[in-house]
Amino acid sequence: MSHAFIAHGADQFDSLLKLHEALRAAGIPAKYSSSERRADIDAANIDAASLMIVLVSYDSMRSTDVRSQIIRAKKNGMTIIPVRADRTRLTGFIKEFAKDMVHTIEEIEPLMTTAQRAYRQVSPVVSVMNLKGGIGKTTIASQLAAALQAHTRNRVLLIDFDPQYNLTQLFFPGQQADEAIANDRSVISLFEKSRVHQADLTSPADQWATLSTVPFTPAPRAKIAHSLLGGSEAVGRLDIIFGQFEISKYAFSTDTSGLEAVRANFLRSIEYYRSQYDLIVLDTNPNATFLTRCALQATDRVLAPMHTDIYSLRGVRLLNRVINDQTAQDRRPELSVLFNAVERREQSDFEADTRNGVFNEQVGFDLSGKLMSAAIPKSRHFQIKAREDDAPIKRLLPHHGRGGGLRHIRESLIAASVELATVLRQDASA
């Protein structure tokens, strides 16, 4: 997470100071136009911001700077919070923009609650999950994260949360992955103190039967994540934290208090990496385990791929039940269901029935309401084999490859990623 940008008119120093102080107390760094009003600096600060707060007043209403700052933030899809800073009657552009304004500078506490929620939620965590195996979780996690990254140019982190670590192997040759894993530069370091935190430790991966419950400061991003794409301010980045088999040890452990500590470490680690990325995507394992609970508790939205067949209905029914069982109501992730591997011809009867709510009763929840409009086609292009000589990017369809049918695939991935980005933004402002 970066900062809040405050848009303000020229003569609003009291309000600006008050707001700045309150944000600092709430743990939100803030930036605003300096007295020189350098448009280029302001633009860069707006682009890097997590949210915008607009001080609405006589001054700001007449300011062309403020107007263009709001337009820029809107274009970036940023959460914008208007705050009434004086009693002037609203006119023109600001009147339309601030018509739902609820906050005033006098009542700073509710404003900070809204700001904190928006600030925290800008880096959402999405878990790609279905308790059915082989349904396209790993495929969707990787291709959709890549499409979303390309579309938003944000900083996106993939985490391979499946002990089978297919996602990791999709991008990196076995040997390179194994070497990194041997040094704990992998998912286990989110759960236990390891050699990425302190070089002379024994690896928690070598201690199958015991859990390290020592709290630790999460490792800097570059020490744990591997870069897949990008890396500059302009293009954002797509990184991955490798998976590994050894995290299945948590499924076998009977050390309840140890597991509790390990889970708390994991949740704290995720909170930290939220501040380093704009989106975190977890590719999860197909069976309900300790790892499932950890993922759900860290997650804002579950993305469940499903096939257009009756077997998949059972998968989403179970998934919905597990989400309800494993999370508290006030921290329960939302659910989006995405049809994967649909045949390219016209919409099937099954898909149409599902969209029309025919199966809602059978699955026990509003499946038709949770279905994404986009659907991912069935295509041989998704059947990607990691080869030792291929660069990671070659496996990302939104970025690479030509030939039959790729355009259609790319379009469907982009449509799904735009839809996902929209619901995540709605989550943030809810």
- What residues contact 169, with CB distance under 8 A and at least 6 apart? 177, 386
Q: Which does 329 bind (CB under 5 to 8 A by kind): Mg ion, ligand ATP, none?
A: none
Which residue is listed with tokens 């007449």?
62
Q: In the complex with Mg ion, which residue's Cβ is closer, 33 or 130?
A: 130
- Picking from 262, 236, 322, the residue whose alpha carbon sits closest to that of residue 286 is 322
Q: Of these, 45, 123, 139, 149, which contacts ligand ATP (CB under 6 A)? A: 139
Considering only residues 230-289, where is the footprint of ligand ATP by CB under 6 A? 286
Residue 149 near residue 236, CB atoms below 8 Å:
yes
Query: Is 136 a binder of ligand ATP (CB under 6 A)?
Result: yes
Q: Of these, 328, 346, 383, 402, which contacts ligand ATP (CB under 6 A)? A: 383
Q: Of these, 2, 212, 340, 354, which contacts ligand ATP (CB under 6 A)? A: 340
Considering only residues 62-81, where is the footprint of ligand ATP by CB under 6 A? none
Q: Which does 379 bind (CB under 5 to 8 A by kind): ligand ATP, Mg ion, none?
A: ligand ATP
- What residues contact 257, with CB distance under 8 A and at least 6 apart? 213
Q: In the complex with ligand ATP, which residue's Cβ is closer, 16 or 170?
A: 170
Query: Is 138 a binder of Mg ion (CB under 5 A)?
Result: yes
- Picking from 110, 120, 12, the residue whose alpha carbon sits closest to that of residue 61 is 12
Tokens read off for 318: 């179970």
Q: Of these, 135, 187, 228, 291, which contacts ligand ATP (CB under 6 A)? A: 135
**Cβ at position 164, least distance to ligand ATP in Å:** 6
**Cβ at position 242, least distance to Mg ion in Å:** 14
Residue 142 near residue 305, CB atoms below 8 Å:
no
Considering only residues 153-182, where is the footprint of Mg ion by CB under 5 A? 166
Strands (E), 133-216: 155-160
Query: Is 137 a binder of Mg ion (CB under 5 A)?
Result: yes
Q: Which does 134 bind (CB under 5 to 8 A by kind): ligand ATP, Mg ion, none?
A: ligand ATP
**Cβ at position 287, least distance to Mg ion in Å:** 11
- Listed in sequence order, the DSSP H helices in 83-173 are 92-97, 108-121, 137-152, 166-171
User: What's the angle, vertex CA 392, arms to CA 391 and CA 397, rounded to 5?
Assistant: 110
Q: Of these, 88, 166, 253, 348, which contacts ligand ATP (CB under 6 A)? A: 166
- Picking from 10, 92, 8, the residue whose alpha carbon sits closest to that of residue 45 is 8
Report the amino acid identity of residue 415: A
Q: Long-range CB contacts (< 8 A, 24+ apart) of 268-273? A: 268/215, 268/218, 269/189, 269/190, 269/191, 269/218, 270/125, 270/190, 270/298, 272/218, 273/157, 273/218, 273/221
Segment contacting ligand ATP by CB under 6 A, of 39-47, 106-114, 313-321, 372-380: 372-380
Q: Both ends of the chain: CA-CA distance in Å?
A: 19
Q: In the complex with Mg ion, which residue's Cβ is closer, 230 or 315?
A: 315
**Cβ at position 415, least distance to ligand ATP in Å:** 14
Q: Which does 289 bind (CB under 5 to 8 A by kind): Mg ion, ligand ATP, none?
A: none
Distance between CA 30 and CA 2 in Å, rounded? 9
Q: Pattern 176-205, binding to ligand ATP, x per CB under 6 A?
A: ------------------------------
- Picking from 257, 303, 256, the residue whose alpha carbon sits closest to that of residue 280 is 303
**Residue ranges in contact with Mg ion by CB under 5 A:** 137-138, 166
Residues within the interface to ligand ATP (CB under 6 A)? 133-139, 162, 164, 166, 286, 340-341, 376, 378-379, 382-383
